Structure 1
Amino acid sequence: MTAEPDATQTDHRPAIIICAWDVDEAGWDPVEDLSGEPWNPVGARTVAVPADSPGHLADELSGHLRDPRCRALLLVGRTQRPGRFLLQLRAEHRAPDGSRSDHGTAPSVARATAPIAEMVRALNDAGVPAEATSEADDDSGTFLLYSVLSGLPDGIDTPAIGVLRGPGDASDAAFTKAVKTAAQAMARNMSPISRARAG
């Protein structure tokens, strides 16, 4: 009796990992209805990674990105700054608690690889006020952004990696709309996975 093929092995859509790092975040649920199927942007499929401790989460996300079928990572969370949704351009090397880290030989700053300008434009076009920022919150989102970017192995095509933060007073509906819009903008920049990579 032959084993049934893994659905992800036959799905040639590139994968976007979406991770809300805060266990209390109620604004993003990848499963929209009773079907139990996660939401997917056009042309891609999503991989939902649940919140965990920052260290474990960084390791898990990095493990996913070693799979050439995973072409993007969108980290989502909240900021205490009021007003617009924010897309973070860079992250400094910090410890999981947000304190500055003695980086030794590691780079002091890592830059997001997501198509930030296109994501900001898509959010604003969708009626979600958004802007790019070089300012980083001292939280798990910044730690994860730096850790994942600095841990990318050499010799792979660089995936699109970014952080989207919603204002603390944004409704769950607005937060969900922003996550979907940002993920769709990322998906527009990705091509289908070749059969060689999918196999």
Structure 2
Amino acid sequence: AYKALVVYTGRQNADLIQAAVSQHTVTAVQEAAAATADLVAQYRTQGMDAAGVLAAFQGGEAAASMRDETETPLSDAQLSAVADMVLLPQRRLTRTELVTVIGQQVAAGAANEQAIIQAIGSPIGFGSQTGNVRGVMAGARAMNLSPDDLARLAMLVRDGLREAAGDDLISRGYHPEQVHEFVGDIAALPGTIVVPQTTVVPSQQKDPK
């Protein structure tokens, strides 16, 4: 069960849920999950879409509502972890959107892919795509490419113009081997990536409970 939680909700959420079970019993966690599902059903009845439901949890409104209606012993961070388990929220990013975020984070001085993960609001990493994400980061940094540059290159790759993307960079004086590897990393990213999201707000992310 723990391994499944790690895969679908991230290690931090899995640790929070495991801690909640240890501290407050599995029944308390099950009750919190049921309360979460009930609250989501209420939101849906009110006409709230998936983005609105996620925003309600991220903004703390949902946790406050649950505390008003139930006497859960779980901490706010533990409640958010349970909500992630119940909702399994997701968003879809195109390759162009992802490399634009990568470019923005590189420009901001990001040292590794953790900044990208945080920027897109995901509780888990990139898995088998981690090497490609790092490659795009390294190439963008080495060639001093802007987010707009990366977006344009990704669109060329999307349109089947991978060679044109490489020629553009080579014409700027970059080594063909470096360019080939960099464009290959962009092309290796999925055209659309499904990114898990989290209801945990930044202030909760270091909650030890």
Question: What band does the TM-score fall into relative to the shorter chain?
Answer: under 0.3
TM-score (norm 2): 0.22
Structure showing greater radius of gyration is 2
TM-score (norm 1): 0.23
Q: Which has the higher helix share?
A: 2
Q: Which has the higher strand share?
A: 1
